[in-house]
Amino acid sequence: MSTSVKKRVTDIGPPHYEQFLPPVIKENYGKWKYHEVLKPGVLVHTAESGEKLYSVRAATPRLASIHSIRLFADLADEFSDGYLRYTSRNNVEFLLTDPDKIDPLIAKLGAEGYPVGGVGAAISNPVHTQGWIHCHSAASDASGVVKALMDELCDYFTGQKLPAKLRLAFACCLNMCGAVHCSDIAVLGVHRRVPKINHETIRTQCEIPTTVSACPTGAIRPTSVNGKQSVEVVEEQCMFCANCYTVCPSMTLNDPEMDGVSIWVGGKVSNARHEPMFSKLAIPYLPNNPPRWPEVVDAVKHLVEIYAANARRYERMGEWIERIGWPKFFEMTDLEFTKYHIDDFSHAGLSFRTSLHFRHQ
């Protein structure tokens, strides 16, 4: 460590992207004219100059070893002059100028276990969080649920057979390190037990006032236990958000029996046709059942299939539900509407219906 100190540099920032751009991009930067989808997972962009860039998109599990990154580097050398990029949804894209190399590349990616797709009216690669791989507040595993889901839904990635794009996302707790709150279908890890307070460690691990003020509902109060400073939780005010745990490790929420996931539908971020919107609650709770989470897989597959069979062309999940109405959605999906579906936090009243504009089922 001491030898590196004398040459130490800081605040150099990331390398400039220009050095990683293929010549066809450098020459046509800002001068692209249009693009087409040649087949699932393959885009061709045509520049004003007439030059063409072919992008071949393959899924990755996001968790990538140096082994597979080196494999992608080798494939890039063989097929795309060494140039590649990643997408905002953890796909890898090879940037080709020779269209004759597209099919051999797809074949090789397939042989290595990386399906090509995720373009257009498809399920793109789900964005997801760390889960039990690496996170302290995870209420479920992320990589495992996503793998189990996409093994069942892979044909929707490699094909383009949905009414519109479908964005699937997973976050393992309410911190939502993935943007699940605006996804067509979101799977969200939830805790359902009040924090277990470790009165022995709380004084050394946590600041009591910070812990008390972390609670959005005021459920945490200072108290003394056996003459020592600690906190207590008013159980009926706890909504299991884990804010207290974020600032205080002595307030654990993880629980093998009570933790699980909830499922949310109908969010989007693009402005196309309909404004961006949040996802809304469809299923309040499903259990953790590793390694394949069958209840979660069945529920998501069911939602995808009903959407695929009933939405109109270009209609995203949320647009379809808005057209048919939420009562119809619950009827068609055979999901139970419970009191948990009715918001009771800060802006709850905004979601109450104030008109007779609904369809009688």
Partner 1 sequence: MSQKERKTPLVDELEKGPWPSFVKEIKSVDNPKAKDLLGVLERSYQDKIGHWKHGGLVGVMGYGGGVIGRYNDLPDEYPNVAEFHTLRVNQPSGWFYTSDVLRKLCDIWEEHGSGITNMHGSTGDIIFLGCSTEELEPTFAALTELGFDLGGSGSCMRTPSCCAGMARCEWACYDTMGLTHDLTMEYQDELHRPPFPYKFKFKMAGCPNDCVASVARADLSIIGTWRDEIQIDQEAVREYANSSELNVLEDVVERCPTGCMRYNGQLEIDDENCVKCMHCINVMPKALAPGKERGATILIGSKAPIIGGALLSSVLVPFLEMEPPYEDLKELIEAIWDLWAEHGKNRERVGEFIQRVGLGNFCDEIGLDVAPEMVIQPRTNPYIFYEMDTADY
Q: Which of residues 51-70 bind partner 1 (CB under 8 A)?
A: 53, 55, 59-70
* Residue 90 beta carbon to partner 1: minimum distance, rounded to whole angstroms: 7
Cα separation, 241 vs 193, in Å, equals 10
Residue in 168, 181, 190, 318 binding partner 1, rule: CB under 8 A: 181
- Residue of 65, 50, 186 lying closest to 129 (CA atoms): 186
Which CB atom, from 10 or from 361, has the smaller least distance to partner 1? 10
62/78 Cα distance (integer angstroms): 23
The SS3 assignment for 208 reads: helix
- From 105, 150, 162, 187, residue interacting with partner 1 (rule: CB under 8 A): 150
Per CB under 8 A, the list member of 226, 271, 355, 361 interacting with partner 1 is: 271
For residue 129, give the 3-state DSSP assignment.
coil
| Structure-block tokens of residue 122 | 């498809």
Binding mask 308-327 for partner 1 (x = CB under 8 A): -----xx-------------
3-state SS, residue 216: coil
Per-residue mark of binding to partner 1, 239-268 (x: CB under 8 A): --x-x--xx-x----xxxx-x-------x-
The residue from 49, 201, 229, 270 that contacts partner 1 (CB under 8 A) is: 270
Choose between 141 and 333: whose C-beta lies nearer to partner 1: 141
Q: Determine the size of the site formed for partner 1 (CB under 8 A).
A: 118
* Residue from 107, 225, 234, 269 in contact with partner 1 (CB under 8 A): 269
Question: What minimum distance in Å lies between the beta carbon of 254 and partner 1?
Answer: 5
First to last CA, the chain: 71
Dihedral of the alpha carbons of 196, 281, 155, 274, in degrees to the nearest 10: -140
Q: Scanning residues 182 to 211, which ones bind partner 1 (CB under 8 A)?
A: 182, 210
Q: Which of 27, 103, 234, 278 binds partner 1 (CB under 8 A)?
A: 278
Q: Which of residues 108-147 bind partner 1 (CB under 8 A)?
A: 113-115, 127, 129-138, 141, 143-144, 147
Of 345, 327, 346, the residue nearest 337 (C-alpha): 327
Token pair of 230, please? 């600690």
- Rank residues 14 and 227 by Cβ distance to partner 1 and give the closer one: 14
Minimum separation from the CB atom of position 31 to partner 1 (A) = 8
What is the x/- site pattern for partner 1, positions 63-102, by CB under 8 A?
xxxxxxxx-xxx-xx----xxxxxxx-x-x--x-------
d(CA 231, CA 116): 53
Query: What is the DSSP secondary-structure string of 293-357?
Result: -HHHHHHHHHHHHHHHHHSPTT--HHHHHHHH-HHHHHHHHTPPP-GGGS--STTGGGGS--SS-
- What is the footprint of partner 1 within residues 215-244 (CB under 8 A)? 216, 241, 243
Write down the least CB distance from residue 183 to partner 1, Å: 9
| Residue 122, CA distances (Å) to 61, 117, 205 in order | 17, 8, 47
Distance between CA atoms of 269 and 215, rounded to whole angstroms? 29
Scan residues 279-308 and list those touching partner 1 (CB under 8 A).
288, 290-292
The answer to whether residues 185 and 166 touch, using CB atoms and an 8 Å cutoff, is yes
The span from the CA of 185 to the CA of 176, in Å, is: 14
| 354 touches partner 1 (CB under 8 A) | no
CB of 361 to partner 1, least distance (A): 27
